[in-house]
Structure 1
Amino acid sequence: MVHGLPLAALLALFAAGAVAIWVAGIALSNSTDVLARRFGLGQALGGVILLAIATNLPEIAITASAAAAGTIGVAVGNILGGIAIQTVVLVALDAFGMPEKVPLTYKAASLTLVIEGLLVVAVLIVSIMGTQMPASLIALRITPIAVLILLFWLLGVWLIGRANRGLPWHDRAGDAPGTQEKPKGHSQAARADDAHKKGVGTTRTVIVFVAAAVVTLVAGVVLERAGDAIADHIGMTGVLFGATVLAAATSLPELSTGLASTKAGDYQLAVSDIFGGNAFLPVLFLLATLVSGQAVLPQAQKTDIYLAGLAVLLTSVYLAGLIFRPRRRVLGMGVDSLAVLALYLIGTAGLFAIAWAGGQGG
């Protein structure tokens, strides 16, 4: 039905889905923070898992919808393209969200964030390795590599939880000197306290959470179906559309909540939310495999592997920024953010070049 609509209607439908994800994503993030505090999850394993699932509901909906429809390329492109473009969200936070005239990584520098970034790199490398596995290696709609990604993520989240409780360093928090004055996550606690002062009960918060989750899931399916039809109309492959326009639309909630965190001076939380979401996204390959009944990663195209490499590169630049903490700002952002922006633009041009060369070869 969607594919029969004119392009103007499809664009309007896609825009409506993006707006719904923006609005519902903010409500979902805020209610998740409150619930995590009310149920005593905080930075614990359960809280991290709840936050990762809640903030990635658009990607979960798109992955499930694409896998069910048999458009595996859209699912894979959205997952790997989402990691790359959500890393670029940090560029926007650095350029437009810093109340202090210093780079984001200078104020956020923490060994815990370095561990979170390394987890992103680790699950991406395992994903790249999975693309080389035989497609026949699947049983009970599960592949060993998809399960391994899940186990890597759970182990990484456990290590991050250990780091949040203290590291065997002179500064047990692992924070560099001159970073944010208040502890990581103080803006979440402030939102929870504000809700308590306004008399917002737990039941109401749960209702908002469920409603926002439902809206986000439905909007995610709308984005996937409309996006796939738009790609057909304009002659763009599902992989490219999923990795660029679709991934950008699903990153809107991260941009909004990230700006709220930086404005509140919770720089570490802003970076942590991006790294945390990026580390979780490859876990969705397991979901895509379960829904489609196919080994998803072995079907990855050149563009998919390229996107995974680009995401590793961008994350590595920010890891270097967190360690070396450059104070210089160029064009209103840190030199690491400028490097990430330049690399992403060059990388996107390379992505289109690969797709074009593939089309010419076909």
Structure 2
Amino acid sequence: MFKVIAIIIVFGVLVFFHELGHLLLAKRAGILCREFAIGMGPKLFSIKKGETTYTLRLLPIGGFVRMAGEDPEVVKINPGQEVGIIVEGDKVSKIIVDQLQSYPQAEVVTVEKIDLEQELILEGNLAGEYKTWKIDPAAYLINQGQEFQIAPWNRQFGSKTLGQRAAAIFAGPAANFILAFVLLLIMGLSYGTPTNEPILGKLSEDGPAQAAGLAQGDRILSIDGKEMHSWEEIVAIVSQAPDQELELIIEREHEQATLTLTTDNMENVGKIGVYQPISKDPTKSVKFAGDTTWEFSTMLFKGLGMLFTGKVSLDELSGPVGISKFTYEAAEQGVGFLLQWAALLSINLGIVNLLPLPALDGGRLVFLLLEGLRGRPIDPQKEGMVHFLGFAFLMLLILVITWNDIQRFFF
């Protein structure tokens, strides 16, 4: 059960922090965020806090932050239409679009003019009298029993500076890199970090090192007369000597001793049954987290390069099914290994989202770059169509990769 829960938690945390990055930077820019969603498809759970509705959806394949102005407003009010209004103070706080009989406290107005973005006014006929009302910037439209907060132009995504919009989009992938660093830092602080000192870590039971009388913490001064200055040097000389007798000079409690052992042979590689030494120094944990985040990032970038150059085929990619299987296997190895795997997945999510493809964050950043070069935005309808086609292509790609995963792992 722990392994299944681990898969759900890992996927949920990666998506949550990605979308949280978008949400925080969008809110900081003053953009109205209507919904913060984890998953896609039908809603399973929702709660509203402030201006934003937080939802959990059925399909665990991503998430989104719905920012005002990114999609056409779902409710339109036209001249000649009758609406109900509720006035608080000197401003309209609610506009009822339909089912007026359900709101007897509302005043019924025949609309002549309404502006919900710039002027925030409503002009219309109330009981034979032409009147003008100011609309509260945080007013709600009520349609089919559902409330929708209006989005004045200064609260919409498109009203913000190029830098603010780019930051809100880039913040999602950036949050994944930050999350990876934090996960690796937690791993380092909890379990220690590997060091390159020529010191023995934990010994395997009944291994050559234990049989020879070596102990955890012994410093290896030399092997067969060759001085040892690092763990890597120990591994290099031992691995090249399968089934061979080695003479070790060690230092233990400030005293030197000479021991001999015969290495094991594992597929023509010498082994002595010793793990790499571990340090729990917090400063080394920070360095480990930074170095490993960088190593994972460069490794994944190189992998993407191999994919685009054809050195790696599409059949070798893994989708949700494959990732779930690998996450299950990581959970079997323990929490430390799972943290490292989750960090790798988080970096992967960040890098993939930065690809300059439609529907991804990288594709949206490309459109902002074009806007900066042109001095004016791309036609929203054309941009929306490109992202729609890109999203459809990505869904098709996910289906193909998922089918490959199913055939690979279950047939």
TM-score higher than 0.5:
no
Higher helix share: 1
| Bigger radius of gyration among the two | 2
Structure in which a larger fraction of residues adopt strand: 2
